[in-house]
Amino acid sequence: MTGLVEAVRATLRRHAMLVGGERVLVAVSGGADSAGLLHALHALAPSLRLTLHVLHVDHGLRADSSHDAAFVQAMAARLGVACEVVRVTVSAGGSPEAQARAARYAALEGCAERVGAARIAVGHTRDDQAETVLMRVLEGAGPRGLAGIPFQRGRVIRPLLEVSRREIVAALRSLDISWMEDPSNLDRAFFRNRVRHHILPFLAMASGADPVAALNRTAVRMRALIEMLDARAEAELKRLAVVTEDEVVLSHPLLSAMPRAVAATVLRLAASRLGCRAPLRAWAHRGLSRVLCERPLRRPFRLGGVVVEVSGAQVRLAARPRPPLGTHALVVPGCTLLDEIGAFVEARVVSADGYELPRARDRVAFDVDALSAPLIVRARRPGDHVDAFGGGERRVKSLLIDAKVPRWERARVPVIEAGGQVVWVAGLRRAAAAPLTSSTRSVLDLTFVRHGRNPHSGAPERH
């Protein structure tokens, strides 16, 4: 067991998995790998000042699965480690392995939150790494897929990833420590089991070499490449993107000019910033192909749980589409709150005597007596147009496009309507309706305030 303990200590140090003093949740299925993990961490706990907590996840996929839970509880009790058993429901549909894995990690994350664990230790070995890399080779994966299982992701750590299954079994046998054998590990219906029991042994026999070692070297090299790629993409994202809490906006021309692998990784990192946890290896390249296609995209599309939109020179990724502006009665005089877009319209009625025409785009004036009721604020509608001074008309849609308003913002630009006629596209164009003349007595002064302070706190900001 000493050799296993020191190997785990070296991996923890080499990959900076622990600093000491943490509470660590240990995932224990009862198999040899997780039993070895628990005993190794238990041996290291005093020197690293670790507090261990065991979680056994019962997937309920076998009638006798409760025996595994009882075995793990007894093992933890012998070591004096707190232990919980959580039974999960594995969703139907898709790969049973993938569904079980998702349920297991959700249970682990939930338990870690509950007990205050800074790290979740799971028992993947270098054999698991080799199997994963080979499976991805056969699937035609790229560098990110061939990087295999990471040593650490979030709070999940894998202290056994540099240790073989054979070494773990030898260590357990040296101390007469028993473990449970999961019969599903022998079921050839699962691709991983066929790789483990047929393909890897065949490759070893046919090549006369150790395929597990070779595949682990591939994973290490690909991981280094991916880390370099991620660092480059992180720098590009920081340099080029406008990042807020719920969206990332990128420059389409600059994204197009990047090497394709970097651009795909920028999209992947942007999606992860928005909380996307879907596997993004293929997602990023599929999404990039759609974003950079020659024919401009006219509709948003959803990939990896995020919404992607392209408009002119901008690409937007967000958790959801921006809410459109609703229809509001214009309060005159007063402030009409437009909460959907974080703005408001202030309306004042003033005397025409001495009134100076506004020069800012976000402020306009109308002859009150020449306007028809009702006055409303709304989003643009198909067929909307603005009657221009001097005759002629301009479609509101064309006005927004020429002003380079992104597609996702066009349903959020306030249109002021009087008696069914568009009189102002806020911030962009005033119609010819109700101009101020020498006979004007009263003026309706409208100010559009974007993200201004509370309209009741004083004079609004003007842009």
pLDDT, tens only, 343-354: 999 999 999 999
pLDDT of residue 455: 46
- When divided into structural domains, the chain yields a total of 3
pLDDT of residue 7: 97
pLDDT of residue 78: 97
Q: Are residues 341 and 251 in the same domain?
A: no
- Rounded Cα distance between 246 and 336, Å, is 25
274, 291, 318 - which closes a domain: 318
Q: Are residues 314 and 193 in the same domain?
A: no
Order of strands across the sheet that contains 334-338 = 334-338, 343-351, 442-450, 363-367
218, 249, 269 - which closes a domain: 218
pLDDT of residue 167: 96
Residue 128 belongs to a domain? yes
pLDDT of residue 420: 93
318, 350, 376 - which closes a domain: 318
Structure tokens at 77: 């009790």
Q: Please classify residue 155 by burial: count the beta carbons closer than 10 Å to its beta carbon, then call 0-12 exposed, 13-18 middle and 19+ buried.
A: middle
Domain span at residue 258 reads 241-318
User: What is the separation of C-alpha 307 from the centre of its chain, rounded to a whole number of angstroms?
Assistant: 11
304: domain CATH number is 3.30.465
Q: Are residues 197 and 94 in the same domain?
A: yes
Q: How many CB atoms lie within 10 A of CB 113?
A: 11
Q: Are residues 65 and 157 in the same domain?
A: yes
What residue ranges of the chain have pLDDT lower than 70? 61, 63, 93-94, 277-285, 294, 296, 451-463
Residue 439 belongs to a domain? yes
pLDDT of residue 312: 85
Residue 9 belongs to a domain? yes
Q: Are residues 303 and 397 in the same domain?
A: no
The predicted model scores a pTM of 0.75
Distances in whole angstroms, Cα of residue 185 to Cα of each of 31, 180, 188, 353: 10, 11, 8, 89
Residue 15 belongs to a domain? yes
pLDDT of residue 283: 63
Query: What letter does residue 228 receive in the DSSP assignment?
Result: H
Residue 460 belongs to a domain? no
Q: Are residues 418 and 377 in the same domain?
A: yes
Q: Are residues 30 and 99 in the same domain?
A: yes
Residue 30 belongs to a domain? yes
Q: Are residues 150 and 254 in the same domain?
A: no
Phi, psi of 354 (to 5 degrees): 75, 5
pLDDT of residue 185: 77
The string of pLDDT tens digits covering residues 373-420 is 999 999 999 999 999 887 778 999 999 999 999 989 999 999 999 999
User: What is the separation of C-alpha 51 from the centre of its chain, rounded to a whole number of angstroms?
Assistant: 31
Structure tokens at 316: 């937007």
pLDDT of residue 459: 40
- Pair 314, 252: CB distance under 8 Å: yes
Q: How many CB atoms lie within 10 A of CB 12?
A: 23
- Rounded Cα distance between 39 and 62, Å, is 26
Q: Are residues 214 and 359 in the same domain?
A: no
Residue 245 belongs to a domain? yes
Q: Are residues 202 and 102 in the same domain?
A: yes
pLDDT of residue 54: 97
pLDDT of residue 189: 78
pLDDT of residue 460: 40
Q: Are residues 261 and 347 in the same domain?
A: no
Residue 24 belongs to a domain? yes
Q: Are residues 441 and 353 in the same domain?
A: yes
